[in-house]
Amino acid sequence: MRADAQRNRDRIVEVARALFRVKGFEAVSMDEVAKAAEVGPGTLYRHFPTKESLYDAVLEAWAEKVNAAVSQALTLDAPARERLLSWLTDYASMLTEHKGAAARITAALGDPGSPFAAKCQTYLGANQRVIEALDSALRPGVDAMQISRLVGGVAVVVDSSELPSDAAASMLAVVADGLIAS
């Protein structure tokens, strides 16, 4: 890749990140991103063939953050419920960091063709670590996909209604209590 192309690509991602974070994916047009990045529309689409692939690039590398959150939750000296809740809270928090991301990523669960497939896999792997660590403390039949769907559902609602964190916390508490074996 030429130096000018790399510069343009980086600039596009940086500009799009700022716009998407504040206004959300839907409310920002590709033309708006192109103008703000001072590139032509053709340039923007050459680097990112669809709006969705731009969004994937904008959302930062997740693997490190996800693994750090899981490790932190699992090293807590606390009952299984508290460790699970710590992970679910971080998970939902990451999903709601950018307006609209929760719905997109959650809808991509189970779809290998989605630009977000790698991110979904990261989450499923993290859930699997939690399941293995908490083992018989969890209700029978819990799997990684189910956790992602439950947390994703909560995050979508929190995001679309712009709920405060105490509302999110009480919803996640219900989910955690449902997942813990009775």
Using CB under 7 A as the criterion, which residues of the chain lie in contact with DNA when the complex forms?
1-5, 8-9, 29-32, 38-43, 45-47, 49-51
Residue 179 binds its own copies (CB under 8 A): yes
Residue 79 binds its own copies (CB under 8 A): no
Which of 33, 88, 103, 126 is close enough to bind its own copies by CB under 8 A?
Answer: 103
**Out of its own copies, DNA, none, which partner does residue 166 contact, by CB within 5 to 8 A per kind?**
none
* DSSP 8-class letter at 23: H
In this complex, which beta carbon is closest to DNA, that of residue 50 or of residue 75?
Answer: 50
Question: Strand, coil or helix: what is 138?
Answer: strand
Tokens of 91: 């998970």
**Out of DNA, its own copies, none, which partner does residue 49 contact, by CB within 5 to 8 A per kind?**
DNA
In this complex, which beta carbon is closest to its own copies, that of residue 8 or of residue 89?
Answer: 89
Helix then strand count (H, E) for the chain reads: 10, 0
**Out of DNA, its own copies, none, which partner does residue 38 contact, by CB within 5 to 8 A per kind?**
DNA
- x/- string (CB under 8 A) for its own copies, residues 106-125? xx-xxx--------------
Rounded Cα distance, 34 and 41, in Å: 6
> C-beta of 17: minimal distance to its own copies in Å?
24
Rounded Cα distance, 164 and 180, in Å: 25
- Cβ(172)–Cβ(112) under 8 Å? no
Question: Strand, coil or helix: what is 27?
Answer: coil
In this complex, which beta carbon is closest to DNA, that of residue 8 or of residue 127?
Answer: 8
Residue 44 binds its own copies (CB under 8 A): no
Tokens of 64: 């490190």
- Cβ(51)–Cβ(108) under 8 Å? no
- Cβ(79)–Cβ(100) under 8 Å? no
Sequence-ordered list of residues with C-beta below 8 angstroms from that of 141, at least 6 positions apart, any chain: none
Residues making contact with its own copies (CB under 8 A): 103, 106-107, 109-111, 139, 141, 146, 149-150, 152-157, 160-161, 163, 167, 170-171, 173-179, 182
